[in-house]
Structure 1
Amino acid sequence: MKTITLQAVGRVHSTRGKAEDDNWDKEKVYIELDATQFTPEALAGLADFSHVEILFHMDQVDPAKVEKTARHPRNNTDWPKVGIFAQRGKNRPNQIGATICRILKVDGIQLHLEGLDAIDGSPVLDIKPWVAEFAPRGEVFQPQWITELMRSYWRS
């Protein structure tokens, strides 16, 4: 396979210094763009959107814990053993996180958000406005175990 090299566009500033599973909507964070690459013009127009999708690197995951097969989500044996690509856990092969967050404000090269599930210092790979037309088309369904898992992920 081809190796891909990416350069972070910014960093996450958060009160969370370690990965925890729940209550992420309480987090008010900001992303600060890399001032050597970007000016405030890079965020121009973004405040006209309610939400943004953030792609980030979960760089603090222990490489020894990266999963490439199947496991019980959160090691809960009440839930089925499923492949790493059938769950959103942090211990994934490329440690890429993707989250849709509410935009609170844009201030210079800082993007203030609510509900980003990235820890302090996480490198940001990309920022994209959330556009309704990119939402899923057709019926959406998921297994019951993920509904149970996500009950307190955003709010307690």
Structure 2
Amino acid sequence: MPSQPIEVEPIAYVVGGRTEPTDDYWGGTRAIIRIDGERFPAEATAGLEEFSHLEIVFYFHLTDPTDLNFGARRPRDNPDWPAVGIFGHRNMRRINWLGVSRCRLLQVDGLDLHVEDLDAVDGTPVLDIKPWFSEFGPRGEIRQAEWSTEMLVDYFAPRRA
């Protein structure tokens, strides 16, 4: 199958919240997803206030292009965890630099979506916004690698002072 480029344009940007990507303590982080008012009318968010959570697709714009790794590596370079392939974890060292995050929707204010627990930093380009439907959540038994549970124990813990 030949590779063809796909063009996408940001529809919004993250405003506020964290300024530096870090591995942990995203819990309680608040930000605004500001939708492009030049392209979208206010009614683009109609009905969104009925949902508690959003699924956000964004672009890891701060990724260092020299730090990509398409093979296997130890998550967070921890020697106690196994080397896993790029598709075996969710970091930003990916070929297309795409991130997906589920966050709590606190308020809809026109084209500003006030959110909490979005693990994207100030200035992050947002490529898509979807309301979270619980019916799209996992079906059946859920399992995951033990190292991932250990690694993420503080991921959504409140930020330490």
Output the TM-score relative to the length of structure 2: 0.94
> Aligned partners of 1:130 and 1:106: how far apart in 2?
15
Which residue number corresponds to residue 155 of structure 1?
Answer: 157
1:26: how far off? Answer: 2.0
Letter in 2 for 1:112: H
SS in structure 1 at match of 2:43: helix
> Aligned partners of 1:47 and 1:73: how far apart in 2?
37
Which residue number corresponds to residue 85 of structure 2?
Answer: 83
Which residue number corresponds to residue 16 of structure 2?
Answer: 14
Q: Encode CA deviations 1:94-121: one digit per residue, 9 max, x unaligned.
A: 1101011110000011001000000110
Q: Encode CA deviations 1:118-156: one digit per residue, 9 max, x unaligned.
A: 011000000000001100111000011000011000005
SS in structure 1 at match of 2:27: helix
CA contact (8 A) 1:14 1:27 kept: no
Which residue number corresponds to residue 67 of structure 2?
Answer: 65
Among 30, 33, 40, the residue aligned to 1:31: 33
> In angstroms, what is the RMSD of aligned CA positions?
0.9
Which residue number corresponds to residue 145 of structure 2?
Answer: 143
Question: Where do 5+ consecutive residues of structure 2 fail to align?
Answer: none
> Aligned partners of 1:13 and 1:66: how far apart in 2?
26
1:56: how far off? Answer: 0.3
Which residue number corresponds to residue 124 of structure 1?
Answer: 126
SS in structure 2 at match of 1:117: coil
Which residue number corresponds to residue 5 of structure 2?
Answer: 3
> Aligned partners of 1:141 and 1:32: how far apart in 2?
35
Runs of 4+ in structure 1 displaced over 3 angstroms?
A: none
CA contact (8 A) 1:32 1:110 kept: yes
1:36: how far off? Answer: 1.1
> Aligned partners of 2:104 and 2:136: how far apart in 1?
16
Question: Where do 5+ consecutive residues of structure 1 fail to align?
Answer: none
1:77: how far off? Answer: 0.9
Aligned-pair identity in percent equals 46
> Aligned partners of 1:40 and 1:140: how far apart in 2?
38
> Aligned partners of 1:68 and 1:148: how far apart in 2?
23
Q: Encode CA deviations 1:14-67: one digit per residue, 9 max, x unaligned.
A: 232111111112210110011111122111101101101000000110111112
CA contact (8 A) 1:22 1:153 kept: yes
